Structure 1
Amino acid sequence: MSEDLVTVLDGARIMPVLTVRDPATAAPLADALASGGARCAEVTFRTSDAEQALKVMAAHGGLAVGAGTVVTPEQAERAVAAGARFVVSPGYDEEVVAKCRELGVPVVPGIATATELMRALRDGLDTVKVFPVESIGGLRTLRALAAPFPRVRFVPTGGIGADQLPGYLAERAVLAVGGSWMATPAHLDRGDYPEIRRLTAEAVRVGAP
């Protein structure tokens, strides 16, 4: 790969996970996140206009924008063509991983068990997403996975809110924390960009060294 995720994130520990239904909200969303101190964001491929939203946010220049909920190699190709600098998947799929390697972008597959983590290690990956982390035991599960695999870095995502954030960030094995509470579809529907900026700034402060 031409870059790894550590290089792309460049120290960012807060990863807003975004479901953008209307591409018209993408530019002001990027402005709000960046002004709140975010340096990266994940645009999920859960909506019909996700590709266009990703393209707009990638063009903003103030964020390292990746694509999330990528479940097929074809989606990975479209995401990278739209400007994604990294790819996140909810589970482990060898074809998605292989396509991302071919495209030269970091891929962060989702894992929920030690078996899946060992598959990722076998394929040469050392950074994985733990998903859906809160539903599968939260910090207790993350610590249990980290203990026998001390060289692995984790991006826990799924059900994390502002209250849980400090606990995850305190774990040495955690590279970054993904969460949707900073910019929800409801925020975007209301056009509540000041609240997105405020919530983002709060999260970034928690993640500051």
Structure 2
Amino acid sequence: MDETAAIARLEACGVIPVVVIEDASRAIDLAHALVAGGIDVVEVTLRRPAGLAALEAIARSVPGALPVAGTVVTPAQVQQVKDAGAKAVVSPGFSEAVDEALKAAGLPWLPGVATASDCMRAVAAGRIVAKFFPAETAGGPPALKALSGPFPQMRFCPTGGVGLNNLGSYLALPQVICVGGSWLVPADAIASGDWARVTRLAKEASEAFRALRG
């Protein structure tokens, strides 16, 4: 999948679940539960050892979901997530080494930015779609508005402290293509296999996005 198609898919989904998973055997049911609720992009982070296997399971067995690798912070991880079937990659920050590895791998990338300096590095590398992280700690919507002055070409996926309570304030900004959050995939729901709850949360988020963006 090329970058334009991947970004279009993220934008159409609107709310991207940030999955931290302890047991890869739950990944397929989790992804099906999200898709049933209207969320068809799944960001599986590499924060836990099970992350890579969970990403691979979703890529292999849930064709209705777009598998995205999150928390990719080293060049070595780039080939790992590509081999696992990731169609796009998200990182918490910007690294020239990771940028080069992703360009070589041909994978779309949303690097993490939080400051004007971060944005300058991203733009210099040709990266104009980024993850704004940690969104609330970095200043929230007012900070995004400020960054859009000197960087009008950039578009963002705010993540970190985003939830139903403040979704609207981010999606009201034209430079925001989507938001990311872990509230759709609570750790206790994954651990207990409460897929009905995950589907309900996904449906709430999807409906909120549709109401705000149409």
Structure 1 length normalisation: TM-score? 0.96
Corresponding residue SS for 2:157: strand
Structure 1 residues 36-86: Cα deviation after superposition (integer angstroms, max 9, x where no partner): 001211000011111110011112111111100110011111011101001
Q: Give 1:8 deviation, angstroms.
A: 4.3
The residue number in structure 2 matching 1:47 is 48
Count of residue pairs the alignment pairs up:
209
Structure 1 residues 13-42: Cα deviation after superposition (integer angstroms, max 9, x where no partner): 111100011011101101100000012110
> Superposed, which structure 2 residues align to 1:176-195 within 5 Å?
176-195=178-197
The residue number in structure 2 matching 1:73 is 75
Q: Which runs of 5+ in 2 are unaligned?
A: none
The residue number in structure 1 matching 2:139 is 137
Q: Is the 8 A contact 1:54 1:83 kept in 2?
A: yes
Q: Give 1:10 deviation, angstroms.
A: 6.0
Q: Give 1:148 deviation, angstroms.
A: 2.2
Aligned-partner residue type, residue 195 of structure 1:
R
Corresponding residue SS for 1:136: coil
Instruction: Give yes or no for the alignment of 1:3 onto 2:3.
Output: yes
Q: Identity over the aligned pairs, expressed in percent?
A: 41
Q: Give 1:162 deviation, angstroms.
A: 1.3
The residue number in structure 2 matching 1:161 is 163
Q: Which runs of 5+ in 1 are unaligned?
A: none
Alignment partners' CA distance in 2, 1:170 and 1:41? 23
Aligned-partner residue type, residue 82 of structure 1:
A
Q: Give 1:9 deviation, angstroms.
A: 2.8
The residue number in structure 2 matching 1:118 is 120
Alignment partners' CA distance in 2, 1:187 and 1:146? 37
Aligned-partner residue type, residue 14 of structure 2:
R
The residue number in structure 2 matching 1:93 is 95
Alignment partners' CA distance in 2, 1:183 and 1:101? 30
Aligned-partner residue type, residue 105 of structure 1:
L
The residue number in structure 2 matching 1:26 is 27
Instruction: Give yes or no for the alignment of 1:204 onto 2:203.
Output: no
Q: Is the 8 A contact 2:10 2:16 kept in 1?
A: no
- 160-169 or 69-78, larger mean C-alpha shift: 160-169
Corresponding residue SS for 1:135: coil
The residue number in structure 1 matching 2:150 is 148
Alignment partners' CA distance in 2, 1:192 and 1:135? 30
Alignment partners' CA distance in 1, 2:146 and 2:189? 35
Q: Is the 8 A contact 2:24 2:50 kept in 1?
A: yes
C-alpha RMSD over aligned residues:
1.3
Corresponding residue SS for 1:120: helix
Structure 2 length normalisation: TM-score? 0.94
Aligned-partner residue type, residue 129 of structure 1:
K
Alignment partners' CA distance in 1, 2:70 and 2:164? 20
Corresponding residue SS for 2:13: coil
Q: Is the 8 A contact 1:8 1:85 kept in 2?
A: no
Alignment partners' CA distance in 1, 2:207 and 2:144? 23
